[in-house]
Amino acid sequence: MDTIKSFVETVWQRDPQVTQNGMPNPAEVWSKPDERSGSLELRRITTRQSTPVPGVFDRGVRSDFYELYWADLTAGSPWEDFLAWLRLLLWRNPSHRVPARVFSAWVALWVITILFSLVALWAAIPPQTTVFNIPIPEAGNSRWLVLAVIAAATVGLHKLVQQTFGRVVRYTQATPGNIAARKAVRERGLTLLEALHDDPEYDRIILVGHSLGTILAYELLAFFWARQYGARRVTEGTAEFDALRDLEVAAGRLEANADEPAALATWNDAQHRLRRLLAARALPGAGQKEPIRRWILSDFVTIGSPLAHAEFLMAADRPDLERRQVEREMPTAPPVRECLDPDDVAAVLAAGGFPVPADPAKTELFCFPRRDENKTWELHHAAVFGVVRWTNIFDPARFIVQGDLISGPVRGVFGPAIHDIDLAALRGPATWFSHTKYWDSAADPRQLEALRAALNLLDNPM
What pLDDT, on the 0 to 100 scale, is given for residue 284?
64
The residue among 155, 172, 189 that closes a domain is 172
Q: Are 30 and 5 in contact (CB under 8 A)?
A: no
Q: Is residue 324 domain-resident?
A: yes
Whether residues 99 and 215 fall in one domain: no
Whether residues 250 and 148 fall in one domain: no
Neighbours of 235 (CB within 10 A): 14
Whether residues 102 and 166 fall in one domain: yes
Whether residues 274 and 406 fall in one domain: yes
Q: What are phi and psi of 242, to 5 degrees?
A: -60, -40
Rounded Cα distance between 167 and 366, Å, is: 34
Q: Is residue 63 domain-resident?
A: no
Kindly list the distances between the CA atom of residue 176 and the CA atoms of 72, 171, 181, 312, in Å, as whole numbers in the listed order.
Answer: 19, 12, 10, 21
| Percentage helix, strand, coil for the chain under 3-state DSSP, each rounded to 5 | 45, 15, 40
Q: Are 217 and 186 in contact (CB under 8 A)?
A: no
Q: What is the pLDDT of residues 341-369, one digit of tens each?
A: 988 999 999 999 999 999 999 999 999 99
Count of the separate structural domains present in the chain: 2
Mean pLDDT score of the chain, rounded to an integer?
85
- The secondary structure of 15-52 as a DSSP string is -TTTS-S-SSSTT-EEEEE-STTS-TT-EEEEE-----
Q: Is residue 28 domain-resident?
A: no
Whether residues 238 and 345 fall in one domain: yes
Helices (H), 201-352: 212-227, 239-256, 261-279, 310-313, 318-326, 342-351
Rounded Cα distance between 325 and 323, Å, is: 5
Least confident of 223-227, 271-275, 370-374, 408-412: 370-374
pTM for this prediction? 0.85
What pLDDT, on the 0 to 100 scale, is given for residue 258?
93
The residue among 122, 153, 172 that closes a domain is 172
What pLDDT, on the 0 to 100 scale, is given for residue 164?
46
Strand pairing class (419-422; 389-394): parallel
150: pLDDT strictly greater than 70 = no
Q: Which H or E element spans position 205? A: strand 205-210
What pLDDT, on the 0 to 100 scale, is given for residue 33?
83
Q: Which 8-state DSSP code applies to residue 302?
A: E
What pLDDT, on the 0 to 100 scale, is given for residue 105?
65
Whether residues 257 and 356 fall in one domain: yes
Q: Are 57 and 46 in contact (CB under 8 A)?
A: no
Q: Is residue 69 domain-resident?
A: no
Whether residues 210 and 344 fall in one domain: yes
Whether residues 209 and 298 fall in one domain: yes
Give residue 130's domain range: 79-172
Q: Is residue 153 domain-resident?
A: yes
Task: Calculate mean pLDDT across residues 293-311.
Answer: 94
What pLDDT, on the 0 to 100 scale, is given for residue 1?
80
Whether residues 387 and 312 fall in one domain: yes
Task: Calculate mean pLDDT across residues 136-153.
Answer: 64
Q: What are phi and psi of 69, to 5 degrees?
A: -95, 130
Q: Is residue 417 domain-resident?
A: yes
Q: Is residue 61 domain-resident?
A: no
Least confident of 28-42, 140-154, 185-199, 393-407: 140-154
What pLDDT, on the 0 to 100 scale, is given for residue 166?
46
Least confident of 13-17, 59-63, 68-72: 68-72
Q: What is the pLDDT of residues 236-283, one digit of tens each?
A: 999 999 999 999 999 999 999 999 999 999 999 999 999 999 999 987
Whether residues 116 and 221 fall in one domain: no
What pLDDT, on the 0 to 100 scale, is given for residue 228?
94
Burial class (CB in 10 A: 0-12, 13-18, 19+), 210: buried
Q: Is residue 423 domain-resident?
A: yes
106: pLDDT strictly greater than 70 = no
Identify the top-confidence range among 37-51, 154-168, 281-295, 423-437.
423-437
What pLDDT, on the 0 to 100 scale, is given for residue 163?
47
Percent of the chain with pLDDT over 70: 79
303: pLDDT strictly greater than 90 = yes
Rounded Cα distance between 105 and 319, Å, is: 22
Whether residues 224 and 339 fall in one domain: yes
Task: Calculate mean pLDDT across residues 22-46.
Answer: 82
The strands making up 29-33's β-sheet, listed across from edge to edge, are: 29-33, 43-47, 64-65
What pLDDT, on the 0 to 100 scale, is given for residue 162?
47
Whether residues 422 and 279 fall in one domain: yes
